[in-house]
């Protein structure tokens, strides 16, 4: 039963990590030009990276779930001290994301003049090869 609970939680978090991984690696870059989500205090869009933070939050349920399935009396405390702090960091990230946590390709794009709505600034640098899939979508 415990293995099924952990497997279920990991399966829920997997799409979050896939989105964040594609954004971090630079395989998906179109999101950088989009506006940030409503209520954010930063000028750039970091939403796919925040998906990775949400995946970490989902994984923070594992210790509490393990304690609850094993019948531990401390299950509620474990859930509180793992899920709550990670959730508070995620709430803070909703409004503010440190630029230092942006991927290197995005920092270079901003240095080249990239900004929200700056479709004239190439998402790929001079030394990078634009993937065929991005070319088909009209991205440069």
Q: How far apart are CA 37 and CA 107, in angstroms?
A: 19
HSE value, Cβ hemisphere, 13 Å, CA-based, for 52: 15
In this predicted structure, the answer to whether residue 137 has a pLDDT above a threshold of 90 is no
What pLDDT band is residue 128 in, cutting at 50, 70 and 90? Answer: confident
- Helical ranges in 1-140 per DSSP H: 2-25, 47-59, 61-69, 75-95, 104-111, 132-136
Q: What is the per-residue pLDDT for 102?
A: 92
Can you read off the two tokens belonging to residue 11?
């399966």
Contact status, residue 51 vs residue 21, Cβ threshold 8 Å = no
In this predicted structure, the answer to whether residue 132 has a pLDDT above a threshold of 90 is no
Q: What is the per-residue pLDDT for 121?
A: 84
pTM of the predicted model as reported, rounded to 2 decimal places: 0.82
Can you read off the two tokens belonging to residue 75?
């299950």
Q: What are phi and psi of 113, to 5 degrees?
A: 110, 10
Question: Average pLDDT in the 21-41 region?
Answer: 89
What pLDDT band is residue 52 in, cutting at 50, 70 and 90? Answer: very high
What pLDDT band is residue 139 in, cutting at 50, 70 and 90? Answer: low
Radius of gyration of the chain (CA): 19
Q: How far apart are CA 16 and CA 10, in angstroms?
A: 10
pLDDT tens per residue across span 58-74: 999 999 988 988 898 99
């Amino acid at each position: 039963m415990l293995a099924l609970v952990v497997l279920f939680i990991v399966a829920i978090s997997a799409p979050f990590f896939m989105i964040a991984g594609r954004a971090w690696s630079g395989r998906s870059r179109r999101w950088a030009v989009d506006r940030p989500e409503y209520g954010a205090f930063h000028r750039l869009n970091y939403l796919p990276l925040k998906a990775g933070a949400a995946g970490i939050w989902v994984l923070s349920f594992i210790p509490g779930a393990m304690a609850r399935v094993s019948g531990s009396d401390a299950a509620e405390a474990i859930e509180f001290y793992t899920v709550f702090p990670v959730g508070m960091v995620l709430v803070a990230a909703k409004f503010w994301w440190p630029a230092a946590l942006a991927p290197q390709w995005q920092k270079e794009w901003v240095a080249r003049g990239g900004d929200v709505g700056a479709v004239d600034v190439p998402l790929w640098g001079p030394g990078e090869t634009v993937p065929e899939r991005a070319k088909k979508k009209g991205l440069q």
